[in-house]
């Protein structure tokens, strides 16, 4: 919470130094007796409006909520902000937990985005081709996405285990390979939408979709994928904290030498970690498609839209623990969704949300700095230990 507070303070400073009316107010500070008061009021007005619009655009507008409760109307507009936040956070949570599992094992999976792309391709190939009932086709489509991610994750896992190839280089470079596979699939295979010359896939069949929770007529995009993400959080927590294999994962990440001495096979752990991480990334990719877009195109998860890259940050923000990752994903989703609302209402650029996001990550990553800023002396030793031991502690 202190890191979030510091991130918001930095965001406020950015608003002040980039907003013309605020700068004008401070520039004219001594032009009149009321100059200081006007400058302070203008500053608080703009900063308050920015954060108010960010909150109401990502969570809920209290006035709109009261109107809907008192009249029973306009529930769609009232619930749209929280619906969009949950929609964006769903695949991000799944992918981030996959990345966090490799981090817990002392490995670095920088290729979650490519694994999510391959998972999306595999899921679309199945979900757009098989005419089966929803109760059968949805699980098969999701399983296809998982298998696509597993196969993609297996490559760096085996290369790391048997050749010593560095997983950061292998996983990072395979993101580019996945992007090219995506373009080839959409332009040179039957997966391309019939009669279409652009890089667009066939649509998923209606029986393969993750339906909106409140029905299509509601206009709210939040879908059954939120329960998949919640299930992943619970299973991942149990796996890491209660299972013997999860214990081996954590021991391997905390002290590889002790893990080898105790009889833990490092090759097995490396391969399994990448298989699980890749499978979760693939599940995130197909969940994104089945829940929101319903097809893939040449820009699917490419560039700034790539949840696999954001997942690295979210995983670190959540200390690589499933529950912490879930809250980190919700925070990042809220800042992203609220930032767009803030830009539309106040004209303050969406980049401010990115500044806040990564400022928070910076302070999360340096707990000793936060303790020094807030003069938290009682936990200085534990904070120093955490900073020196790394993310897996």
**pLDDT mean across residues, the chain:** 89
**Residue 212 belongs to a domain:** yes
**Residue 52 belongs to a domain:** no
Helices (H) and strands (E) in the chain, counts: 17, 0
**Residue 73 belongs to a domain:** no
Q: How would you class 69 by CB atoms within 10 Å of its CB: exposed for 0-12, middle for 13-18, buried for 19 or more? A: exposed
Lowest mean pLDDT among 19-33, 103-117, 139-153, 157-171: 19-33
- Most confident stretch, 4-13, 22-31, 92-101: 92-101
Total domains in the fold of the chain: 1
State whether residue 203 is helix, strand or coil.
coil
Entry pTM: 0.89
- Which pLDDT score is estimated for 378? 55
| Residue ranges making up the domain that contains 240 | 84-330
Confidence of residue 392 (pLDDT cuts 50, 70, 90): very low
Query: pLDDT tens digits, residue range 69-89?
Result: 999 888 999 999 999 999 999
Lowest mean pLDDT among 169-183, 313-327, 359-373: 359-373
More confident residue, 364 or 20: 20
Query: pLDDT tens digits, residue range 368-380?
Result: 888 888 887 654 4
Give the CATH number, domain containing residue 209: 1.10.3470
Give the contacts of 16 (CB within 8 A, at least 6 positions apart): 22, 23, 26, 43, 46, 47
**Residue 24 belongs to a domain:** no
**Residue 344 belongs to a domain:** no
- Round to whole Å and give the CA distance between 342 and 352: 9
Measured between its terminal Cα atoms, the distance across the chain in Å is 19
**Residue 245 belongs to a domain:** yes
Are 318 and 361 spatial neighbours (Cβ–Cβ below 8 Å)?
no
- Which pLDDT score is estimated for 120? 96
**Residue 364 belongs to a domain:** no
């Amino acid at each position: 919470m202190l890191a979030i507070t510091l991130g918001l303070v930095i965001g406020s400073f950015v608003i002040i130094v980039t907003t013309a009316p605020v700068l004008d107010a401070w520039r004219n500070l001594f032009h009149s007796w009321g100059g200081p008061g006007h400058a302070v009021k203008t500053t608080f007005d703009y900063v308050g409006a920015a954060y108010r619009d960010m909150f109401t655009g990502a969570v809920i507008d209290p006035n709109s909520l009261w109107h809907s409760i008192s009249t029973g109307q306009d529930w769609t507009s009232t619930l749209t902000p929280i619906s969009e936040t949950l929609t964006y956070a769903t695949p991000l949570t799944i992918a981030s937990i996959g990345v966090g599992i490799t981090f817990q094992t002392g490995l670095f999976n920088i290729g979650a985005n490519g694994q999510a792309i391959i998972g999306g391709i595999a899921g679309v190939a199945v979900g757009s081709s098989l005419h089966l009932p929803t109760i059968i086709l949805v699980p098969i489509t999701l399983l296809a996405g998982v298998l696509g991610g597993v196969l993609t994750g297996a490559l760096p896992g085996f290369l790391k285990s048997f050749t010593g190839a560095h997983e950061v280089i292998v996983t990072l470079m395979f993101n580019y390979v996945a992007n090219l596979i995506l373009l080839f699939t959409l332009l040179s295979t039957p997966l391309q939408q019939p009669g279409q010359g652009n890089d667009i896939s066939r649509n998923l069949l209606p029986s393969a979709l993750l339906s909106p929770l409140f029905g299509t007529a509601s206009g709210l995009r939040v879908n059954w994928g939120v329960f998949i993400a919640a299930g992943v959080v619970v299973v991942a927590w149990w796996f890491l904290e209660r299972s013997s294999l999860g214990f081996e994962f954590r021991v391997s990440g905390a002290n590889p030498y002790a893990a080898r001495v105790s009889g833990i096979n490092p090759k097995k752990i490396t391969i399994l970690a990448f298989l699980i991480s890749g499978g979760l990334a693939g599940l995130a990719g197909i969940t994104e498609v089945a829940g929101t877009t319903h097809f893939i195109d040449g820009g699917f998860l490419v560039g700034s839209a790539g949840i696999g890259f954001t997942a690295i940050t979210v995983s670190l923000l959540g200390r690589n623990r499933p529950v912490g990752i879930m809250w980190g994903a919700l925070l990042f989703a809220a800042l992203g969704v609220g930032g767009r609302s803030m830009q539309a209402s106040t004209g303050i650029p969406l980049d401010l949300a990115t500044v806040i996001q990564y400022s928070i990550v910076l302070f999360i990553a340096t707990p000793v700095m936060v303790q020094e800023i807030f003069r938290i002396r009682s936990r200085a030793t534990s904070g120093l230990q955490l900073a020196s031991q790394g993310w897996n502690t």
